[in-house]
Chains A and B, each alone.
Chain A
Amino acid sequence: DTAVSQTPKYLVTQMGNDKSIKCEQNLGHDTMYWYKQDSKKFLKIMFSYNNKELIINETVPNRFSPKSPDKAHLNLHINSLELGDSAVYFCASSQGAGSEKLFFGSGTQLSVL
């Protein structure tokens, strides 16, 4: 069973569209994250959710909005997609607040045309 699963694996869309990426973890973890990996492989945290509360929100445009229906899911919704949003987006989870060991999903490669 996949511990952290995200869908879709690939997402190709036009500029200006709205899209969502779904993430689910079956590890029973309390905290989930979204990371963005750019073309140079640089990983940067976007959000984290702990017990359905947003804990970290780095300097991410408000076109990006995380939504967590329950602690096993953290979806990422992106409005008005721009060319610069093209990247690989990783969902991750960890046990407990302040826990460092992250379990990552396999990523969603977003291409904005």
Chain B
Amino acid sequence: QQQVKQSPQSLIVQKGGIPIINCAYENTAFDYFPWYQQFPGKGPALLIAIRPDVSEKKEGRFTISFNKSAKQFSLHIMDSQPGDSATYFCAANNGYSGGGADGLTFGKGTHLIIQP
């Protein structure tokens, strides 16, 4: 069962455009929603994250929009650049109730290409 559904699988945008990547979750116990960016040959790196008590968060050119009632959140990249070309993963924390460390449940990723 996939707990975090991500779309699209791939996306091509012209430089300066605003790519939008969408994610939907099922588990209402999730309370932390990060986005990770992964370049080829590298591990994922945290880009931006949001908690469900706010509807939007901006960090530089990256914005997360969060809709708690719809159980959806999305990543917007303003003024996109070729250097933004990477694979983007949404995620949610597992809400592990037994105490101790949580892992993250990841979406399947979006391969983003920004064309010059």
Please provide the 9 A-B residue pairs with the shortest distance between their CB atoms, ordered closest to farther. A104-B43, A45-B103, A31-B101, A55-B100, A43-B106, A50-B101, A41-B109, A97-B101, A100-B32
Q: Which residues of A contact B49 (CB under 8 A)?
A: 100-101
Q: Which residues of A contact B104 (CB under 8 A)?
A: 45, 100, 102
Chain B nearest Cβ from A81, distance in angstroms = 22
For residue B89, CB closer than 8 A to chain A, the reply is yes
With A and B bound together, what is the CA distance between A55 and B100 in angstroms? 7
For residue B52, CB closer than 8 A to chain A, the reply is no
Chain B nearest Cβ from A60, distance in angstroms = 12
With A and B bound together, what is the CA distance between A30 and B102 in angstroms? 12
78-103 of chain A: CB within 8 A of chain B = 90, 92, 94, 97-103
A-side interface mostly: strand
A4-B43, A92-B43 in contact; A41/B87 too (CB < 8 A)?
Answer: yes
Q: Which residues of A contact B34 (CB under 8 A)?
A: 100-101
Instruction: Flag if B108 contacts A40 (CB, 8 Å).
Output: yes
Given A31-B101, A102-B46, 18 additional A-B pairs, CB 8 A: A4-B43, A41-B38, A41-B109, A41-B111, A43-B89, A43-B109, A50-B101, A55-B100, A55-B101, A56-B94, A56-B103, A97-B99, A98-B100, A100-B32, A100-B49, A101-B34, A102-B36, A102-B44
